[in-house]
Amino acid sequence: MFPNLELVKMVADIENPTLFSHDLKSADILFLDLIVSGGNINTLADFIADIPILIITSAISRWQYPAFIKNREHFALQKPISLQMFQSCIEKALQP
């Protein structure tokens, strides 16, 4: 349905970000839920700083986002995410 997108990796536990940091360094887009298991979301700040496109996929209100998210450009998909919302977000994110 989205030929320009390729899912490279899904991470269920962020306890040790160094285990998936290589995948983060090569990512063009990161879909990030702010409710994570195995650790504190703030530990990802340095690991995701250079990812060009950050899309937050969370039920959390924007005003509750951690500072490292608020202080950088990002897109937001508020849960529950519909196909139409996803498609619209991707189109905006990929605009030059």
| pLDDT, tens only, 66-76 | 999 999 999 99
**Does pLDDT of 12 surpass 90?**
no
CA distance 91 to 72: 19
Residue 39 near residue 15, CB atoms below 8 Å: yes
The reported pTM is: 0.89
The pLDDT of residue 2 is: 87
Secondary structure class of 31 (helix, strand, coil): strand
- Kindly report the average pLDDT of the chain as a whole number: 91
Residue type, 51: I
pLDDT of 92 > 90? The answer is yes
How high is the pLDDT of residue 96?
81
Residue 35: predicted pLDDT: 86
